[in-house]
Chains A and B, each alone.
Chain A
Amino acid sequence: MYFKLIANDIKNSRLISTTVVVFIFAASMLMAAAAGIGVRLASSIENLFDQAKTPHYMQMHAGEIDRFRLGRFVQDHPDIEEYLVAEFLNIEGTQIQFDGRSLADSVQDNGFVAQNESFDFLLDLENRPIVALPGEIYVPIYYMKSLGLSVGDKAKIAGREFTVAGFVRDSQMNAGLVSSKRFVVHETDLQSLEPIGIPEYLIEFRLNDLSQIAQLESDYINQGLESNGPSAITYALFRLINMIADAMMIAVLAIVGLLVILISFLCVRFTLLAKIEDEYKEIGILKAVGIPQRNIRRIYLAKYLFLAGIACALGFLAAQFLQSFLVQNIELYMGKSDAGAVPELLGAAASLVVFLMIYAYANGIVKGFDKISAADALRFGVPSEKDGRLSKFQLAPSSLPGSFFLSVHELIVSKKVYVTMLAVLVVCVFIATLPADMHHTFADRSFIGYLGLGDYDLRIDIAQMDDIVERAEKIMDELDADSDIASANLLISKVFDVPLGSGAAQKIKIELGDHQLIPVNYTRGAAPTAENEIALSELNAQDLGKKLGDHIGLIVDGRYRSFIVSGLYSDITNGGKTAKAAFESESGAVLWAVIVIRLTDGVLPEEKLSAYRERFGDVKISDVNGYVDQTFGGTKEAIGKVALISSLLALVIAFTLTLLFMRMLYFKDKKQIAVLKAVGFRNADINLQYVLRAMIVLLLSLLIGMACTRTVGRSLGTLILSIFNISGVRLLGSAAIRYFIAPISIGISVAFGTILGVRGIVHLKISELIKE
């Protein structure tokens, strides 16, 4: 019996049923895809780390290594399972060419390595350890993508010919976010390249017990072992860096999925309420003849159970196709997952949860049937609350044209109905603008404010040489004489000890110089100006347990000095742990120097970039766009994809929901429309009423939606970014998208939906409805 009822009901309301199915389908697809991709990502990373035997702790170092001391350190730590010192031969980008194109523009540190013997294996695209033969070169996937390389391409390294034999899947340095990349060559080739490169070392450890990593890190620092390089990286950080771009995509998919579930709720709510209104009398009759309430509820629920079941199942199947498209990046960088059927099982579980949520929600609504009095339903045929819904807003005293009055009046008296449409459109505005805002934030020039360097045009990185400071000062002298430069600021990074209570000390990298000249954006406080002030990156402050105004002790030039935390800023470079100060120090190893340059107005950064590259060939020079593109390009691209998909989704939702909504209103209002036509309203007048109502609701939803994006959305976006260590980033909105593209495109979708939804007005036969 239920099947017959369902079939008839669906037949009579094909459009409405289809729309409900579409939304539940989309929700199920997005949630199943997010769950499936999440599992695949975790499994691919796990697999990659297993195959590569990724180090649990790694410290980069430029300079001599006391191998005897290192050996003793290992002996003293029985938890260390294995260790190795891998050579990383840093070769300038200008010396590396692929089919005539050099890597001069690259901001990456390009290192040449031979395959390791015991762990930290560099893998090929089949996740097998690479075995490079003489004359062969294996190129990082990062360059394979950005340069469009393929196997068999020719490479020239410092004049020596190589053939690209494959690509490197590097569990440490895969991500664009990591500023070093490893090329694999044969041991003999590496030796022949040594004269033209600068050797650096990766000091790596694997432990028997992962819980000992923090202890190892602390001991390594306290014993003052080799650490002339960026901060040490742990296993957890390798994992985070590898997953950041894809995890953000999964997070956005899940959020959009949750919003679509919300829309499905509204859709089910609206269709069920309309159904109750339509069949009020019938429900009364069913009650009057003694059918139990539970059975009446079942009759109405059966259809939604059926539709939700079909939609969730189809959504799950579609998620498999969507995943195959979205996991391409994961599979390329991390390899295929070997999670077996787990992604499918978890995806199915996500779809099932969507189904159960829809069921529970629909069940809650049909419980409202219990309140319907059989006597009232039979007497009036309409819900009694409809009676006397007279508004104080009346036609006679108003001066509004009739059609406009009726539009506004209907909105007032049926506000409950229109609130549903409003809520859906608010959600549409939200999902159309939030991911776009996130993408815009990455694409905007001000994003460099989060790179710990202020708003600059060019940067010169001086590292891996014996005379860093002298070289930097010489370059500064030349820059001072250049009239194209508005300001140039030299910042020197050194490492200092922070004494801990236990007598041990923690290392901290501090950038010394004038931090007011080209300041960063401080989330709290200001730049350090006095000798006793220090600014900390958010992550460093969190790590050290310091707040604005707190004191922090440092060992400077051999003596203890106290500093006040003058400011906190967001920095997503160098693992997020940086500091800035203005004091001068003679001691401490210089890690690197950066010259930040702002050009005078009218000078093209591209031209200056090539001129400086020619002039200062031994240092790395990059412009801001190149730096951001190479480090955050992947993340930006992933968010861009999601922004595009969610914007299109918002338009589809706005269109279909308006169409559905207006169609239902049309069916509900048919008799009233006939009355209006009979008394001389033109089709255009009546159409106008629906369009006007839709536009008023749209206008309100744009206002509310934009306010939501600016408040809740901003917090939500910032929260998502902070999960990935991009803290304190303030979401920026593109004025063109927020105030022009999004409102107009949603407006067009709503207008089309409305016009199509009420297109029946033209063909409506007055006589048939008046006779009823």
Chain B
Amino acid sequence: MKKLLSGSEITMSFGKDKTTKVLKGVDIAVGEGEFVALMGASGSGKSTLLYILSSIETADEGRVFFDGIEISKLNERELADLRRKEFGFVFQQPTMLKNLNLLDNIILPAANDQRDRKALAERALELMAKTGLEGLEGRGITEVSGGQLQRAGICRAVLNHPKIIFADEPTGALDSKSGVEVMKLMTSLHREGIAILLVTHDIKVAGAAQRVLVMKDGEIQGEIRFETDDIEKRERALAELLRNKP
């Protein structure tokens, strides 16, 4: 599998004098079309790693490559273009503009590229239909449920045909039914060939990935690549791994 995204020797510290080390020289790689989950307890550094790999945070040290380009060397303009054209984002909390309707929120990232607005809207409506949001395009963000909003977020993430989706606890703020629906969508996107790097602390969510990396104290301390499609077996294997790397 060709390497799509990789990070090497990534370190990151927080605090006044950078005393709290969150990432301690992490090496990571995601292949083209691969679905990888990052698991770990709160404060393990998984979200920080996701932000650094997706260019919305800059590491203290280390290098990040995407499709052969070292993104840590790109300027703000190039990074913004990269995020808009190659990446998709799904966050834990709905990150939508409050005064726009769902359709406008979905097409927003592509709106500055002067594309055919009609074709853009058609693709967005297609995606909405696919994710069960048909007929909700004119609704405001306070007029739909959390699950619907998260699905709209996924529509926005894939509108530009990204090569990879970064998802930070995408089911974290949802009820279990909505969470299942969202994960079904993520799986189907992966089947379409989009790579996914997902952060979660939920075994069931991580079970949808092909490979799971377990983080603890700013380091990747365990990894499992699933050889089976059986969800129950995956969850059991994962639980086993976590028991050994508490």
Q: Which residues on B sit within 8 Å (CB–CB) of A394?
A: 100-101, 103-104
Query: Quick one: closest A residue to B78, CB to CB?
Result: A682
B100:A409 contact, CB within 8 angstroms: yes
A390 in contact with B112 (CB, 8 Å): no
Decide: A387 and B112 in contact? CB cutoff 8 A.
Answer: no
A585 at interface by CB-CB < 8 Å? no
Q: Does A481 contact B (CB under 8 A)?
A: no
Is A680 within 8 A of B109, CB to CB?
yes
Known contacts A678-B83, A679-B109, A682-B77: A396-B114 contact under CB 8 Å: no
Contact of A469 with B by CB under 8 A: no
Contact status of A405 and B111, CB under 8 A, knowing A390-B101, A399-B117, A684-B77: yes
Q: Give the complex CA separation of A402 and B109 in angstroms.
A: 8
Partner of B117, one of A387, A396, A767: A396
**Contacting residues, chain B, for A678 (C-beta < 8 A):** 56, 83, 89, 91, 95
| Interface residue count on the A side (C-beta < 8 Å) | 42
Give Cα distance in the complex from A654 to B36, angstroms: 53
CB distance from A280 to the nearest CB of B (A): 14
* A765→B97 contact, CB < 8 A: no
In the bound complex, residues from chain B placing their C-beta under 8 Å from that of A409 are 99-100
- Residues from chain A with a CB closer than 8 A to the CB of B114 are 401
Determine whether B70 belongs to the interface, using a CB cutoff of 8 Å to chain A.
Answer: no
Q: Are B142 and A398 in contact, CB atoms less than 8 angstroms apart?
A: no
Contact A770 B56 (CB under 8 A): yes
Bound complex: CA of A767 vs CA of B201, how far in Å? 19
Identify which of A395, A396, A401, A766 gathers the most chain B CB atoms within 10 Å of its CB: A396
Q: A413-B99, A682-B76 are in contact. Are A766 and B107 (CB under 8 A)?
A: no
Contact A681 B56 (CB under 8 A): no
Say whether B83 contacts A765, CB under 8 Å: no
Contact with A along B100-122 (1 / 0, CB 8 A): 11011001111110100100110
Name the one of B77, B82, B107 contacting A395, with C-beta atoms under 8 angstroms: B107
Is A675's CB within 8 Å of the partner chain B?
A: yes
A106: chain B residues at CB < 8 Å are none
Tell whether B211 is near chain A: CB-to-CB under 8 Å: no
The smallest C-beta distance from B184 to any residue of chain A, in angstroms, reads 23
- For B124, the chain A residues whose CB sits under 8 A away are 396
- CB of A683 within 8 A of CB of B108, answer no
Rounded to whole angstroms, the CA-CA distance of A676 and B111 in the bound complex is 12
Q: Are A387 and B85 in contact (CB under 8 A)?
A: no
A680 touches B100 (CB 8 A): no
Known contacts A388-B143, A767-B57; is-contact A402 B108 (Cβ 8 Å): yes
Within 8 A of B (CB), among A745-763: 762
Smallest beta-carbon distance B127→chain A, Å: 13
Residue from the list A398, A405, A679 in contact with B84, Cβ < 8 A: A679
B interface residues, tally (CB under 8 Å): 43
B148 at the interface (CB under 8 A from A): no
Contacts of A767 in B (CB 8 A): 48, 51, 56-57
* Residue A389 interfacial (CB < 8 Å): yes
Which B52-68 residues have C-beta < 8 A from chain A?
Answer: 56-57
- Proximity bits, A548-561, B CB within 8 Å = 1, else 0: 00000000000000
Q: Cβ of A772: which chain B residues have Cβ within 8 Å of it? A: 93
Minimum C-beta distance from B31 to chain A (A) = 24
Complex contacts, B87 vs chain A, CB 8 Å: 680
Interface hits, A655-686 → B, CB 8 Å: 671-672, 674-685
With an 8 A cutoff between CB atoms, is B80 at the interface?
Answer: yes
What residues on B are CB-neighbors of A676 within 8 Å? 97, 108
Report yes or no: B112 in contact with A402, Cβ–Cβ below 8 A: yes
Assembled-state Cα–Cα distance A505/B107 (Å): 88
Q: A46 within 8 Å of B by Cβ? A: no
User: In B200-224, which residues have CB < 8 Å from any A CB?
Assistant: none
Cβ B112 vs Cβ A679 within 8 A: no
Which residues of chain A have C-beta atoms less than 8 A from B96's C-beta? Answer: 675
A766 and B103 within 8 A (CB): no
Which residue of chain B has the shortest Cβ distance to A766 in the bound complex? Answer: B56
Q: Is the CB of B140 within 8 A of A387?
A: yes
A770 to B90, CA, bound (A): 11
Q: With A and B bound together, what is the CA distance between A14 and B120 in angstroms?
A: 44
Given the complex of chains A and B, what is the CA–CA distance between A531 and B104 in angstroms? 79
A343 to B139, CA, bound (A): 63
Confirm or deny: B46 has a beta carbon within 8 angstroms of a beta carbon on chain A: no
Against B, the Cβ 8 Å flags (1 = close, 0 = not) of A390-429 are 1100111111011101100110011000000000000000
B89 to chain A, nearest CB (A): 6
* Cβ-based interface call for A386 (8 A): yes
A680 to B56, CA, bound (A): 10
Bound: A677/B156 CA distance, A: 14
CB distance from B74 to the nearest CB of A (A): 12
Q: Quick check: A395 and B104 within 8 Å, CB to CB?
A: yes
List chain B residues, Cβ under 8 A from A72. Answer: none
Q: Which residue of chain B has its CB nearest to the CB of A414?
A: B99
CB distance from A346 to the nearest CB of B (A): 50
Q: Is the interface of A mostly helix, strand, loop or mixed?
A: helix
Does B11 sit at the interface, judged by CB under 8 A? Answer: no
CA distance A402 to B112 in the complex (A): 4
Q: How far is the CA of A389 from the CA of B143 in the complex (A)?
A: 11
A675 to B100, CA, bound (A): 13
Partner of A390, one of B51, B83, B120, B140: B140
Which residues of chain B are near A406, meaning CB under 8 Å?
Answer: 97
CB distance from A679 to the nearest CB of B (A): 4
Measured between beta carbons, the chain A residues less than 8 angstroms from B91 are 678, 770
Instruction: Pick from A401, A414, A672, A770: contact of B111, CB below 8 A.
Output: A401
Question: Are A679 and B99 in touch, CB under 8 angstroms?
Answer: no
Considering the chains assembled together, what is the distance between the CA atoms of A398 and B101 in angstroms? 14
The reply to whether A389 and B111 form a contact with Cβ atoms under 8 Å apart is no
Chain B CB count within 10 A is highest, among A391, A679, A682, for: A679
Q: Name which residue of chain B comes closest to A762, CB basis.
A: B76
Q: How far is the CA of A398 from the CA of B117 in the complex (A)?
A: 8
Given known A388-B143, A679-B156, contact A402–B111 (CB-CB < 8 A): yes
Give complex CA distance A772, B168 in Å.
13
CB distance from A170 to the nearest CB of B (A): 69
> Which partner residue on chain B sits nearest A674 by CB separation?
B95
Point out the residues of chain B lying under 8 angstroms from A681, CB to CB: 80, 84, 109, 112
- Shortest CB–CB separation between residue B134 and chain A, in angstroms? 15
Contact A388 B142 (CB under 8 A): yes
> In the complex, which of the residues B48, B89, B97, B109 has the most CB atoms of chain A within 10 Å of its own CB atom?
B97
Minimum Cβ distance to chain A for residue B42 (Å): 12
Interface membership of B240, Cβ < 8 A: no
Question: CB-CB < 8 A to B109: which residues of A?
Answer: 679-681
Separation in Å of the A394 CB from the closest CB of chain B?
A: 6
* A358, B15: Cα distance in complex, Å: 43
Complex contact A396–B99 (CB within 8 A)? no
Question: Shortest distance in angstroms between A485's beta carbon and chain B's nearest beta carbon?
Answer: 68
Q: Return the CB mask of B121-141 against A: 1 if under 8 Å, else 0.
A: 100100000000000010010
> Which single residue of chain B is at the shortest CB-CB distance from A688?
B112
Q: Which chain B residues lie closer than 8 Å to A684 at the CB level?
A: 77
If A388-B143, A395-B100 touch, whether A682 touches B57 (CB-CB below 8 Å) is: no
Q: With the chains together, A679 CA to B109 CA distance in Å?
A: 6
Q: In the complex, what's the smallest C-beta–C-beta distance from A46 to chain B, in angstroms? A: 62
Q: Kindly list chain A residues whose C-beta atoms are within 8 Å of the C-beta of B97.
A: 406, 672, 675-676
Smallest CB gap from A401: residue in B? B112
Establish whether residues B47 and A771, one from each chain, have CB atoms under 8 Å apart when the complex forms: yes
Q: Give the residues in chain A near B232, CB-CB below 8 Å.
A: none
Q: Does A679 lie within 8 Å of B89, measured CB to CB? A: yes
Report the minimum CB–CB distance from A391 to chain B (whole Å): 7
B177 within 8 A of A: no
Q: Is the CB of A679 within 8 A of B101?
A: no
Considering only CB atoms, which chain A residue lies closest to B156 in the complex? Answer: A679
- 9 A-B residue pairs with Cβ-Cβ distance under 8 Å, sorted by A, are A390-B140, A395-B103, A395-B111, A397-B121, A402-B108, A409-B100, A672-B97, A682-B76, A762-B76
Closest 4 CB pairs of A and B: A680-B84, A402-B111, A402-B112, A395-B104
Apart from the given pairs A394-B101, A680-B84, 14 other A-B contacts in the complex at a CB distance below 8 Å: A395-B100, A396-B117, A396-B121, A399-B117, A409-B99, A678-B91, A680-B83, A680-B87, A681-B80, A682-B77, A684-B77, A767-B51, A767-B56, A767-B57
